[in-house]
Each structure stands twice: as structure tokens, then as C-alpha cells.
Structure 1
Amino acid sequence: MQITLVVSSLLLAAAVNAFPQSLESKAAIISQEQVLNLDGTFKNTFETENKIRQEQIGYLKQGPASKDGPGVVQVIQGGYSYVAPDGTVISTGYTSDENGFQPAGSHLPTPPPIPEKIQESLRLLASLPSTPEPQYQ
């Protein structure tokens, strides 16, 4: 039992030392700004020495009323960027509100275009008169 524990500990130590240490975790923050206002608005930005940048603003807007009272929605807009291992800069912008998190960036996957035949079918369906729902008794 003790031999197994010692051997396991030595193997774990060897594995940890063999794993390359990342410099990313040691990047220092070279600039940072935080502004928090009493009306619920805020601004937050930072940049690290390895070119990671992030900025965002937040504010409150009127939303739909609910049973709990007037609706207020928090909106956060911002973006972040970093340098990929191949040297390209990856940038993502985003909005987060009552519709959820909505990222945008040229590196993000997009759905394929809708084939023309399906678009024709959708146009035809939209042009047809609607039928009333059946009434059950």
C-alpha cells in the first residue's frame, strides 16, 4: 500500500513537471478602469501585457411589466479580444439583455444559407390564409 502511494506520488510529480508551464496565467494587468454609478450604469475595461483586452458597459432599461412590478432589464454591451497562438487577433463583441447573450465575431460559426426551394415553401406558407383553431367541447 505504501509503495503504491509513493509510486503514485512520484508519477504525479513527474507528470506535473513534464506539463509545459503557460505564460498566459502569469500575464500582468497593464491597465484597468472600473466605474460604478448609483443609477445602475457601469463601465469596466482592462488590458493585460499579453494583449488580452476586455471592455463592457452596463445600463438599465425599461422592460415589460410583470406581476412583481415595473419591468427593468439590465443590458450589458462589450467585447473582448486576444491573440491566438497563430498570431491572429480574435475579437468578439456581445450584447446581453432580455434576449440573452448575443455574441458576434468573424470567427464564430454561422448557419448555412436556407436553400431556395425551402425559402419558396416558406413564402408560400406565409401567403396562405390562416385557418381557425378547432373548437372542442
Structure 2
Amino acid sequence: MKFIIVAAVALVAVAAALPVEEPVEIVNSVFEQQADGGYKYAFGQSDGVKREETGVVKEAFDEDNKPHNVVVVRGSYSYINPNGQEELINYTADEEGFHPEGSSIPVAPVARR
């Protein structure tokens, strides 16, 4: 019986010694919707994560050369990596896809002919 009590006290002591992570808070947030479908969006967190994005409506043409509206997005996000350094990624997204750029994103080698 004493062993069970000692084991329970030891488990409580270990649980109390574990680090408690503080909750991440949103420190700023903005969202603006425009009538044409465009928008502006941004937020920042207490842990250093940030994101901002702008969407602009533009006319594009499909494979049948018919016009349609698309939202072209430009933005960036950043976070603190495990080494304590800020990683920044800039990106665009349009009718041709998602295009990220940043020092932590590998770049494919250019094919030589």
C-alpha cells in the first residue's frame, strides 16, 4: 500500500514539474472585404507568427478563351524556426498556381541544354 502512495505522489511531482506552455494569443487582426470580391487580411500572434494577404479580382481567360474573374493573391507569412530565427515566405497565387519564395524553400536547379 505504501508503494502505491509513493508512486502516486511521484507521478504528481513529475506532472507538476512539466513546463506549462502559455496559450498563443492573437495580438492584431484585420480583415477588409471589398464589394468586388477583393480583400485584405492580416494577423499577428504572441509567438511571432505573422501573416498578411491581399486578394485582387482580375479577368482571366479559360482554355476556350472565355473570360472569367479570378482572385490574384499576394501575401507573406513568417514564423520563428526551431533555431530561433524568423522564416519569411512571400507568395503569389493566381490562375497559374501557388508560387512561394523564401530562403527556406529549396529551388530546383535550372536544366542546361
Q: CA RMSD in A?
A: 2.3
Amino acid at match of 1:86: N
Which is bigger in relative contact order (C-alpha 8 A, separation at least 6)? 2
Amino acid at match of 2:84: G
Q: Does 1:34 align with 2:31?
A: yes
Q: TM-score, normalised by structure 1?
A: 0.62
Q: TM-score, normalised by structure 2?
A: 0.74
Distance 1:22 1:44 in 2: 31
Superimposed CA distance per residue, residues 50-99 of structure 1 (whole angstroms, 9 cap, x where no aligned partner): 110000000110101566x5321111110100111211110101111101
The aligned length equals: 96
- Give the direction of change, closer, same or farther, for the CA distance of 1:111–1:70 in structure 2 (3 Å limit): closer
Instruction: State how 1:1-137 maps to structure 2 within 5 Å.
Output: 23=21, 26-65=23-62, 70-114=67-111, 118-119=112-113
**Does the CA-based 8 Å contact 2:38-2:71 persist in structure 1?**
no
Higher strand share: 2
Higher helix share: 1
Structure 1 unmatched ranges of 5 or more:
1-16, 120-137
Distance 1:58 1:21 in 2: 41
Q: Percent identity among equivalent residues? A: 30
Structure number with larger C-alpha Rg:
1
Report the 3-state secondary structure (helix = DSSP H, G, I; strand = E; otherwise coil) of the residue aligned with 1:47.
strand
- Give the direction of change, closer, same or farther, for the CA distance of 1:22–1:43 in structure 2 (3 Å limit): farther
